[in-house]
Amino acid sequence: MGIGDTDKGIGWISRFQATDQSCATELINSIVEVSYNDFMNDLTSLIVARSKQVEGPIGLYAEREVRGRLGVPNRLFKESRKKPKRAYGSSIPPVLPTRPYAPEVGSEGLIAHIITEICRQHRQLFINHPGPDRIRKDHIRNFFLITDLIGSGDRAWKYLEAAWRVSSVRSWHSLKLLNFEVIAYSATILGEKRIKRHPCRPSVFYVQPCPTIDTTFPKDVANRIKALCIKYDPIDHDVVRSLGHGGTGALLVFAHGAPNNSPRIFHKNTKKWIPLFPSRVTAEFRSKFEKDYSLKTITKRMERMKQTRLSKSLYLITAHPDARLLILVLAALTRGPRFDDALCTKTGLTIPEIKKLRGQLHSFAWIDANQHVTDEGYRQLDYAKLWQPSRFTVDFEVGESYYPQMLRAPRSSS
């Protein structure tokens, strides 16, 4: 059951005018929910996977706001005043309010917990927020900045800039002694591009792309939903800020909170408006957050891909959930673009899930090395569209690792 099916979700939709409730329903049903366990496990797995692709010890840093002046962030490390300037001491704490009068801890607290667990499990490889002294002593060669979401990219950029303002850091990077990576659970296209333009030239990796109004809906529907967000914006109906910080229009919420990049009708509370997630708190829905592999959800995703016949096939109704996901990805590969981010957007799956399913499709020879659907793959799709249940029922047990080879169409004779 998604947010739109809950009593609070239904009540939220009822606050819109009758003519706008259909559009509001589309909006709320498009929200991607990330549970606490999925967030912790998937982000941890990505960090560990990236460690196998680099050489040398890795410093892990939790993205957080850094203090600054006139828009310029303070240096991440202390450095000597005399030339040549040399960084020294420790790093800034991973969790520390930037404003003494507002001692709140955001997602950086959860990220700091993930970092602590990883560093305890892999003491020889990962170092928790090392400062310059530790970087030199342990010959740390990798600077991994960890965050939950790269929305506009502002906060991650400022953190990287705080490090880049340190002369020693620039020197290490110039000598190819320090490599930068930003690892997130999710990222928007614009946020990723902005981060990659930073002078330290970081690589960016994430579990799944962040769905936004623009990437989730066709242009005409997206424009209609944006107009809805602006019309009901509880603050000032600004055409940019109504869609969230930076005009992102993010449609992803975590069990630990909704991002400020999401439309303000989701989280801004006023006397005239009660949002879904007051003050960006998602606690009321947290217990319902889980990955949605239901038939209803897969059918909707196929309909969005214009796979109407496939979405209505009897095969999907009777197929094992693993088989449905294979067919979903196979259908997504019939049209470009075929890179992983695009497949995630089409199917709603994460990048690791896409890679696993692509591997299975390739092993069945349903797709080729360039991720194009083969003749055999198209036969499987046609078979799924036309499949009819047998008059006879056969009982069989399904093991934990299921592959739908039993339901494959017969190969054509050559």
Domains and CATH numbers, the chain: 3-30+212-288 (no CATH), 37-209 (3.40.50), 295-407 (1.10.10)
CB-CB contact of 261 with 188 (8 Å): yes
Q: Is the predicted pLDDT of residue 413 greater than 80, yes or no?
A: no
Q: pLDDT for 58-105, tens place per residue?
A: 999 999 888 888 889 999 999 998 888 899 888 877 765 545 434 455
pLDDT on residue 107: 77
CB-CB contact of 234 with 268 (8 Å): yes
CA dist 215 and 182 (Å) reads 22
CA dist 73 and 180 (Å) reads 18
Distance from the first to the final alpha carbon of the chain: 48
For the record, the structure tokens of 294 come out as 């239901």
Which H or E run includes 298?
Answer: helix 295-304
pLDDT on residue 78: 93
Q: pLDDT for 348-395, tens place per residue?
A: 999 999 999 999 999 999 999 999 999 999 999 999 998 877 655 545
CA dist 384 and 315 (Å) reads 6
Closest CA to 253 of 31, 105, 63: 31
pLDDT on residue 391: 57
CB-CB contact of 245 with 151 (8 Å): yes
Q: Helix 295-304 to helix 340-347 angle, to the nearest 10 degrees?
A: 120
Closest CA to 234 of 284, 204, 275, 191: 275
CB-CB contact of 82 with 50 (8 Å): no
| Three-state DSSP state, 253 | strand
pLDDT on residue 176: 95
- What is the pLDDT confidence band of residue 410, given thresholds at 50, 70 and 90? low
3-state secondary structure 144-197: EEEEEEECCCHHHHHHHHHHHCCHHHHHHHHCCCCEEEEEEEEECHHHHHHHHC
Considering Cα of 157, then 159, then 164, then 169, what sign does the dihedral take? negative
- What is the pLDDT confidence band of residue 292, given thresholds at 50, 70 and 90? confident
Q: Is the predicted pLDDT of residue 414 greater than 90, yes or no?
A: no
Considering Cα of 273, then 277, then 283, then 284, what sign does the dihedral take? positive
For the record, the structure tokens of 283 come out as 């606690």
Per the listing, tokens 């055999």 go with 376
CB-CB contact of 280 with 258 (8 Å): yes
Q: For the stretch 126-139, what's the b/e string if a residue is b when 16 or more beta carbons lie within 10 angstroms of its beta carbon?
A: bbbbbbbebbbeee
Per the listing, tokens 């083969």 go with 374
| Mean pLDDT rounded to a whole number for the chain | 89
CA dist 238 and 246 (Å) reads 11
Q: Is the predicted pLDDT of residue 399 greater than 50, yes or no?
A: no
pLDDT on residue 191: 95
pLDDT on residue 398: 45
Q: Is the predicted pLDDT of residue 407 greater than 80, yes or no?
A: no
- What is the pLDDT confidence band of residue 412, given thresholds at 50, 70 and 90? low
For the record, the structure tokens of 277 come out as 């997630």
Which H or E run includes 351?
Answer: helix 351-363
- What is the pLDDT confidence band of residue 403, given thresholds at 50, 70 and 90? low
Which H or E run includes 135?
Answer: helix 132-138
Q: pLDDT for 12-62, tens place per residue?
A: 999 999 999 999 999 999 999 999 999 999 999 999 999 999 999 999 999
pLDDT on residue 106: 65
CA dist 271 and 276 (Å) reads 14
- What is the pLDDT confidence band of residue 159, given thresholds at 50, 70 and 90? very high
Give the contacts of 84 (CB within 8 A, at least 6 positions apart): 167
Q: pLDDT for 176-223, tens place per residue?
A: 999 999 999 999 999 999 999 999 999 999 999 999 999 999 999 999
CB atoms closer than 10 angstroms to residue 405: 9
User: What global pTM score does this model have?
Assistant: 0.86
Per the listing, tokens 């696993």 go with 356
CA dist 390 and 312 (Å) reads 18
pLDDT on residue 1: 59
Cα dihedral value 22, 25, 27, 31, nearest 10: -160
